[in-house]
Amino acid sequence: MTKHRGILKNTVIVAAFTSLSRVLGLVREMLQSRLVGAGMEQSAFTLAFAVPNMARKLFGEGALTAAFVPIFKGEVEREGVEKAARLARAVMTSVLVCLVAATVLATGAVEGVSRWLAAHATDGSDGRIELASSLVETLLPYMVFICAAAFGTGVVNALGRFKASSFMPALLNVCWIAALATLFFVPSLSSAERVKWIARAILAAGAVQMVFMFRVMARCGVSPAPLFSGWRSPGVVNVWRKIGIGALGAGAVQINYMLDQILAQIANPWAAGVIGYAERLMDLPLGVIGVAFGTVLLPAFSGFFARGDVDGARDVLASSLERLMFAMIPAAAGLFVLAPEMTSVIYEGRAFDAVATERVSRALAVYALGLCFFAFQKTLVPWFQAQGDLKTPLKVSTGAVAVNACLNVAAVVFLPVEMRHIGLAASTTACAALSSLALYVFARRKNGRTGLSRTVGPISVYFAAALAMAAAVYMAKPAFALAADCIGIPAVTGAAALAGLVFLGMAVYFLLAKAGRNLI
């Protein structure tokens, strides 16, 4: 019971600080939607920002963290923090040297490719290509900063320090919001100049995040000073070997993500921006609760498997999944039924019109259907990673990439123009469901019992309560809208109706979920 309380406590800590980051991110998106809109400029920015994010997921919180944390945790358990610190310094130095070299090469490649594309553009898209390439060149160095910060996050999380690492993402949003706020005082800037200004602010934020995490590492007893010796030690070689395996899986996912971005650009000039806005709303619950569990579970599982306590890991997996679904199921139902209202209240205004609201809300409703599957993966992937098994997630992600690519191409080719972005979102949701099922099957094959059978009853109760909640909210929409209209201030009217519907839904869900739990 103590181990469950410790994990739950750490999860609450991570969720609390992640909530701060997500709230700031929501403010950021509200400002950006009004200042930039959902047109070509936002699509170019979304594509450009995807490039350093791809590196972050490959070499930061993705393959590197998955490969490094279990080995580092085992080293701490066996040899203590001092010797484990040398391993961390050697790995971090070697990774950052590679990233700096990759950044230099990529900058030259982007310039060459953009010139070729602009020269051969026949549909008037040369301006969009020029803007996207300029943004990519500005943001490429950000991947070095954020990967260094993400590596520091893995180190301190493995040492059981979750507060500072959970706060770190908020620094990006603070800098981003500050940059957006200044744009209100320069109304003459075009949307293209605005996104360039935002890109420069993101670059500065990355440097702030890196310095912050380096200071936290030092306080935890792991110096961030470069270490150019020991690169051939067994621990470092083992980490790099696992990085290679993990990078194949993460790389397949990221290549697929970039393919999504490119296909979205082909589908419509505005599609990538619209999908990006919808993803950010879906990330509100997923980023707070799902990421919190995923962050805590990797070092927790690593500790259990390092001690040979498989039953303890099973107990934690089952209890974590039940708690995760208690939050994710109603969140998915709420996003689905309130997609138009949420999109309107959060985004609509100035450069973001009613047409953009309709487009984003449709994509959001589709993403909501996959929210629980995305969250389920957050608990199962660390299960394999903690055992040093990066090949199984690789197999699953590679298969999902192939299916997703086929479905995305079909959506762009066969669907009407206004439905293509919905098809892209539906493909992502379907692949999340298939990946979750595959991960569960492989977990059963690998470890026999997973302990998840005991969660079927509670999760069924939560699902039934969420359905009733969605029905109640849907039927109450006209009444709340009519009551809110009496206020007479448009900006307040929508927010008041949405707040009332959210509170109604929460009340219905919690009452029914509690009653159902008492019956099983």
Nearest-5° Cα angle at 458, 455 to 460: 100
Query: How many Cβ atoms from other residues are within 10 Å of residue 30's Cβ?
Result: 18
- How far is Cα 444 from Cα 1, in angstroms, rounded to an integer? 24
8 A C-beta contact, residue 269 and residue 40: yes
DSSP-derived letter for residue 454 is G
Most trustworthy range by pLDDT among 27-31, 44-48, 129-133, 439-443: 439-443
Backbone angles phi, psi at 352, to 5 degrees: -105, 105
Backbone angles phi, psi at 349, to 5 degrees: 145, 145
Taking only Cα atoms into account, the Rg of the chain, rounded to an integer number of angstroms, comes to 23
Q: What is the pTM of this model?
A: 0.71
Q: Count the helices and strands in the chain (H runs, E runs).
A: 19, 0
Q: CB within 8 A of 130, min separation 6: which ones?
A: 114, 118
pLDDT(133) > 80: yes
pLDDT in tens, 70-94: 788 778 877 778 888 888 899 889 8
Most trustworthy range by pLDDT among 5-14, 293-302, 434-443: 434-443
pLDDT(7) > 60: yes
- How far is Cα 89 from Cα 92, in angstroms, rounded to an integer? 5
Q: CB within 8 A of 349, min separation 6: which ones?
A: 33, 34, 491
Write the CA distances from 104 to 99, 110, 200, 444, integer angstroms.
9, 10, 18, 44
| Confidence category of residue 330, pLDDT binned at 50, 70, 90 | very high
Higher-confidence residue: 190 or 117?
190
| Confidence category of residue 336, pLDDT binned at 50, 70, 90 | very high
In a 3-state reduction of DSSP, which class is residue 92? helix
> What is the separation of C-alpha 254 from the centre of its chain, rounded to a whole number of angstroms?
12
| Confidence category of residue 382, pLDDT binned at 50, 70, 90 | confident
Q: Where are the domains of the chain?
A: 2-450, 454-520
Question: What pLDDT shows up at residue 203?
Answer: 93
- How far is Cα 280 from Cα 278, in angstroms, rounded to an integer? 5
> What is the separation of C-alpha 146 from the centre of its chain, rounded to a whole number of angstroms?
14
Higher-confidence residue: 277 or 474?
474
